[in-house]
Amino acid sequence: MKTLFSKFAALIITLFLVSALAFFAFALIPADPATTMLGSEATPEAVAALRSQLGLDRPLPVRYFEWLAGFLRGNLGESYLYRMDVGQMLSGKIAVSALLTTLSFLLTVALSIPLGVLAGSVRNRYLDAAAVGLNQLVMSVPPFFLGILACYGLGIVLKWFTPGAYVSPEKDFWGCVRYLIFPALSIAIPRSAMAVKLLRSSIRDQLGQDYIRTARSRGASETSILLRQVLRNALLPVITFLAVSLAEIMTMSILIEQVFSIPGVGQLLLSSVSNRDYPVVLAIVMLLAAWIVTIHFLADLLTRLADPRVRLG
């Protein structure tokens, strides 16, 4: 309980520090947003007027706390480029990206655990070497390249889907899921390969433990030993890996959204980076950072819950 509390305190402090770091980094960049917005021919008076309208003439710490307070109340800021509320710009896109991330995560779990168990239980040396080699190969394919391969092979050649013909979830939810399956697979397959590798070595470690010998001495079959004794132990490190994967999946989906032209948070982030629309970049980065820090916190918590040695001390 005490560790839980201190972990939670650390989470809050980390979020606070990350927000401050991000805010000041974006506030200190040389480009003046007022000049950017009005163009280089604007009169100094007009620039000054806009600066005070945007609140840029006030001291940084004041602006930071105002921004933070607004952020916590759901006011994510205003886009320089579109003069639009960032929350509004994000609203539809977050749902798409969340759907893609969820699908990718579920596919990763669904692929990696059975395959990892299979890889961990292979006895034949040559079969094992072949599986390890194949796994290493799959791990090496960057998701965005896998996405392009999927677009070509499954989209253009086999015509299972039309690359670029994205359907929004409001219009047709299942149509959207059907389209997102392919980008989600492109993210999930290399991720699963990493998880399979971890689970395989974790199972190997566990199979050498004394308690396996005990289980054998009771007449348990190898399958039941694997599923009922080994798996719970072997999954402990994999749980952490999979949870932390949510952060990586999020980042990978920025790239994959490009490949499959999915109008999600990633595309907005990229266009805002290109357009130097800092309030939007700052808001998205903060949201992603909060998500990642929270994921790490939850992953830690989950591992503690799953392991009685840690849970009960």
Partner 1 sequence: MLLFGGVVSLLTVSAALLGAFWTPYNPTAVSAAEKFCPPSLVHLLGTDNFGRDVFSRVLQGMGASLLIAACVVAIGCLLGTAIGCLCGYFGGPADFLLTRLCDVVTAFPSVLLALVVVSLAGRGTVQIVLALGVLFIPSFARLVRGEAARCRDASYIQSARLMGVSHGRILLAHILPNLRGVLVPAIVIGFNNAILSEASMSFLGLGVQPPFPSLGSMLSDSQTYLQRAPWYAFSAGAAIALLILGFSLLGEGLQRRRRA
Partner 2 sequence: MLQVEHLSVRFPGGAAPAVEDVSFHLNRGEILGLVGESGSGKSVTAQCLAGLLLPDAEVTGSIHLEGQELTGASPAQLRAIRGKEVAMVFQEPMTSLNPVLPVERQVEEALRIHTRLNARQRRDRALAAMAEAELPDPAALGRRYPHQLSGGQLQRAMIAAALVSEPKYLLCDEITTALDVTVQVQILDLLARIARERNMGVLFISHDLRLVKKLCHRALVMRGGRIVETGTVEELFHAPREAYTRRLLDAIPTRESKLR
Rounded Cα distance between 279 and 240, Å, is 33
Beta bridge partners of 85: 78
Q: How far apart are CA 224 and CA 227, in angstroms?
A: 5
Minimum gap (Å) between residue 231 Cβ and partner 1: 24
Query: CA 102 to CA 181: how far, in whole Å?
Result: 11
Q: Does 209 bind partner 2 (CB under 8 A)?
A: yes
Task: Give CA separation, 93 vs 63, 100, 267, 311, in Å.
Answer: 27, 11, 9, 38
Residue 78 forms beta bridges with which residues?
85
Per-residue contact track with partner 2, 277 to 306, x per CB under 8 A? Answer: -----------------------------x
Interface pick for partner 1 out of 115, 226, 250, 268 (rule CB under 8 A): 250
156 binds partner 1 per the rule CB under 8 A: yes
Partner from partner 1, partner 2, none contacting 151, C-beta within 5 to 8 A by type: partner 1
| Residue 11 makes contact with partner 1 by CB under 8 A | no
In angstroms, the CA 202 to CA 120 distance is 8
The CA-CA-CA angle for residues 58, 64, 66, to 5°, reads 80
The candidate with the shortest Cα–Cα distance to 208, out of 234, 235, 228, is 234
Site string for partner 1, 163-182 (x = CB under 8 A): x-------------------
CB of residue 303 to partner 2, shortest distance in Å: 12
How many residues belong to the site for partner 2 (CB under 8 A)? 22
CB of 183 to partner 1, least distance (A): 13
Tell me which of 211, 227, 261, 305 binds partner 2, using CB under 8 A. Answer: 211
Report the residue number, 223 or 274, with the smaller CB distance to partner 2. Answer: 223
Counting residues that bind partner 1 (by CB under 8 A) gives 46
b vs e for 278-294, b when ≥16 Cβ sit within 10 Å of the residue's Cβ?
bbbbbbbbbbbbbebbe
Contact footprint for partner 2 (CB under 8 A): 209-211, 213-221, 224, 229, 232-233, 236, 306-309, 312
